[in-house]
Every structure is written in C-alpha cells, then in structure tokens.
Amino acid sequence: MSLRLKIHLIVGSLVTLFVLAVIALQLQATRDSVREEVVAANRVASQLLNRTVWLQAAQGNAAMLSYLHGLGRVRANDIILFDGAGQQLYRSPPSPYKAGRDAPAWFASLIAPPHSEQSIAFPDGRLVIRADASRAAVDAWDQFIVLAASGLGLLVAVNLVVYWVVGRTVKPFGQIVEALGRIEAGQMDVKLPSLPGTEAAAIGGAFNRMVDGVAVRIEAERRAAQAERELSDRRDLARWIDRHLEQERKLIARELHDELGQSVTGMRSLALSVAQRVEARDPDAAKAARVIADESSRLYDAMHGLIPRLAPLVLDAFGLADALRDLAERTRVSQPQARIDLQLSLGDVQLGSEAALALYRAAQEGMTNALRHGQAQHLEVSLRADGGGAQLEVQDDGAGLAPDWKDKARQDGGHYGLRWLAERVEALGGRLAIANRAVRGTQLQVWLPFTTAEEGSS
C-alpha cells in the first residue's frame, strides 16, 4: 500500500468519523426536540380538553361529537371518542401537513418519544388523547436527508482535496524512492533536485550527502584496491628479482669457487714450482715467482671471503644454524676486536629455503651495519621459535642510529640493505623492526611465520 493511499485512508476515516459524529449529535438534538414538543403538546391538549369536555359531556355524546367536529385536530395529537360500550364514535382527522408522507419506521422509532396517552372518562363515554409524532418525524427526516447529503458532499469534497494535496506532498518521496532504486541498480552518480517541503528538502539534502559520501568511499576503496594490487605486484616483482639475484649470486659464487678458485690455486702452484726450479740459476726470477704465488694466495683468500657474501653456499649444504655459525666465525676472524655471542634455539623446525635465506641475510646485514657503521665491540645474535614463527635478533653496543635516519633514508635513498631486507621480509608475511636500544646500540628484529611447507623435523 502506497504512502499516498495510507494517508488518504487515514484522513478519509477521520473525516467520516467527524461527519458521523455531527449527524449523531444532530439526531440526538432532533430526538430531544421532537420528544419535548410532542409530550408538551399532549399535555397541553389534555389539560385544555379536561376543562371543556365536562361541559359538553353533560349535554350528551351528540354535543360532544359536535364539539369535537368543531375542534378538529390538535397539533401532534390524535383525539378519539368512545361511548360507554367502548365503541369508537370519533377520531380526529389526519393532519394536512405533508400529507401522504411518512418517515421510515426505523427513523420514526429512533426519534419518537415513548408512547404517551391521556384518557378522560365521563358518564357516557371516554375521550382518549394520544401523542402523534409522525409529522415531527417527517420534518426530522427531511432535515436528516439534507444533513446526510451535505455530510456526504463534504466527505467527497474533503477526500478529493486531501487526495490531491497528499499527492503533491508525497510526490518528492516518489523521486527519492526512484533514486534509491537507481542506486540499488548500481548507478552511484544519482543526485536529487531541490525538493519542495521542509521534510522532503531535508531528506533530499541528506540523500545527496549520502551519495557524495558513498562516492568518496567507493573511490577510496577503488584506490585502496588498486594500491593493494600494485603493492602485491611490487612484492611479487621484488620476490622475483630477489630470487634471480640470489640465483645469479650463487652462480657467480660457484664459478668463483670452482673455476677461478682452481685457476688461482694452479697459478700459485706453478709460481712456487718456477721459483724452486730457477732459484739457483736466477734468484730474481725466483723472487718474482714467489711474489706471484703470494699474490695468488691473497687473491684466493679474498675470493673465499667474497663468496659467502655473494651466496652462502654452506646454507644450502648444511642449513641455517650451521650457516649462522659459519658467519659468526668468519666475522670473528675478520673482526678480531669484536666479541660475537650466538644463540640458536629453533628446536626441531626446519625452515624453507626462502625463509632461511631471509633470516641469514638479516643476520648478515645487522652484523655488517653494527661493525661498519656503529663500531660495535659486542654483538649478540639469537634465533628462536616464537609464536608460530622464527625470530632473529641482532643486538650491538655500537653508536646506534641517528634520530632522523628514516627521513634521511627516504630523502637520500640510503640504507639499501635494510630496504631490500624489509621488502623481502614483508613478501614472506613477516615483520622487520629496527630501533636504538635503551642504553646503547641498536636492536634488529625479524619475525617470519612458519608455514605447512616449512615445518618438519631436522
């Protein structure tokens, strides 16, 4: 049921009740008036006849009949004369007022007074005076017809006016419903014009503000989804680049170890052999050969120091724990002034290759930064299982980070190692945190989650 029809029915019902109430009040007033008039007329007629009937009765029924014929009809009363035997001798003529017309029986009974009858007995008979409300009922009926017709006309007129006014009033709400339907269909650029009426204008304004808010929210969600897709693409690209970089590093490290390492070893062996052979005949040539052998030895040591930085071959061969022990030992050898404490408590969890490599690179980056930039003297490296993942911590007692190191990193593009490490950790669903310690130094924390593919017994 539409709002217009509901309002129309409510107003129509109220007007109908009002008209019915007015008619009911009018009927009650008419009923009271008719009853008062008829009863009063009956009493007056009874008192009048009671004084005169005895004079006529003394002369006999003939004189009484003559008197009654001359009297005729008394308003709102029927006069009936009976003789001593109860035979009707006379009845007053019918009223000429609206002759031939009578009100409906139900209406007459509704407004007629209770049966009122006065009787005057004399020696030769009895005179009966009965109240007759038929003419008053006809008058009341005519008035009722006029009132009912007026009420019906008023009801129809009011309903037509209400229907038209309500139609104009609720017309803006139809526009609002149509706009809501278009939004439901996916058209989000719907705007309502300025609507007439205080309430409709307020709803229209709120609707337009809602549409603007929804449009802004949808645009923000679209941009967020696009940014999420771009971030996902960047993460995928970063992981792809990282994997290929690691593959190239491993290839270069193996080439250095297998090819160049053997070549340098061969050069050293040849140089030592030449020095031994020509030492007696040409001491200068033997000395030059030994210089070549020494340089080859230093080149071999430098190459072996470079290989773990390119690709930790021991990580693939022996696992993360041994790779971290090897890293700590090589760092102790290259930095004898620094003390390195290593704690490994990963339990029986075997990490996947990518997670293990990320944690190894995190330890390598943290130790390198602490020794190179922070001039640290004491490093603590720990790896443990923590909350469904593996957590690596590198703490040092170095100079720490500058308060504005993040801003400088964004402006100057520095700290490439940390940036690449952060992207690698995020790509694996982990967390990276680096901050100054409370007393002195820096603390680097990396947490990577375990996955089904990474869990297993060592």
Q: How far is 138 from 13, CA to CA, in rounded Å?
A: 30
The answer to whether residue 47 sits within a structural domain is yes
Q: Is residue 362 part of a domain?
A: yes
Of 253, 281, 311, the residue at which a domain comes to its end is 311
Per-run averaged pLDDT (10 residues), the chain, 458 residues: 72 82 82 76 74 70 76 75 80 78 79 76 78 78 84 83 76 73 72 72 76 80 85 73 70 67 76 81 82 81 66 74 87 88 82 83 88 89 85 90 67 62 83 87 90 43
Please tell me the distance from the alpha carbon of residue 338 to that of residue 47, in angstroms, as a whole number: 143
Domain count, the chain: 3
89 and 216 both lie in a single domain: no
Residue 9 lies in a domain: yes
Residue 208 has what pLDDT? 77
- Tell me the angle at which helices 261-278 and 283-310 cross, rounded to the nearest 10 degrees: 170
Neighbours of 377 (CB within 10 A): 15
Q: In this structure, how many other beta carbons lie within 10 angstroms of the beta carbon of residue 3? A: 13
Is residue 371 a part of any domain in this protein? yes
In a domain, 25, yes or no: yes
Domain carrying residue 451: 319-458
Based on the domain organization, do 279 and 402 belong to the same domain? no
pLDDT at 452: 37
- Do 386 and 436 share a structural domain? yes
For residues 154 and 277, membership in a common domain is answered with: no
Is residue 220 included in any domain, yes or no?
Answer: yes
Same structural domain for residues 285 and 229?
yes
What was the pLDDT predicted at 374?
85
Residue 163 confidence (pLDDT) = 77
* Shared-domain flag, residues 376 and 295: no
Nearest residue to 213 via CA among 205, 11, 120, 108: 205
Tokens of 269: 């062996």
- 175: which residues sit within 8 A by CB, 6+ positions away? 192, 193, 195
Is the same domain home to 124 and 18? yes
Asked if residue 20 and residue 87 are part of one domain, the reply reads: yes
* Global pTM value: 0.44
155 and 270 co-located in one domain:
no
Task: Look at residue 456 in the predicted model and tell me its pLDDT.
Answer: 41
Predicted local distance difference test score (pLDDT) of residue 401:
81
CA-angle at 87, arms to 82 and 92, nearest 5° = 50
Output the pLDDT for position 407.
63
Do 46 and 69 reside in the same domain of the chain?
yes
Q: Are residues 305 and 326 in the same domain?
A: no
CA 152 vs. chain centroid, Å, equals 50
Rounded-to-integer distance, Cα 233 and Cα 424, Å: 13
The CATH number of residue 443's host domain is: 3.30.565.10
d(CA 191, CA 211) in angstroms, rounded, equals 7
- Are residue 153 and residue 26 in the same domain, yes or no? yes
In a domain, 188, yes or no: no
Residue 182 domain-assigned? no
CA dihedral 350, 353, 355, 357 (to 10 degrees): 120
pLDDT of residue 280: 79
d(CA 114, CA 35): 8
* Res 395: pLDDT: 92
User: Strand 117-122's sheet: what is its strand order?
Assistant: 88-91, 77-83, 125-131, 117-122
Determine contact, residues 385/347, Cβ cutoff 8 Å: yes
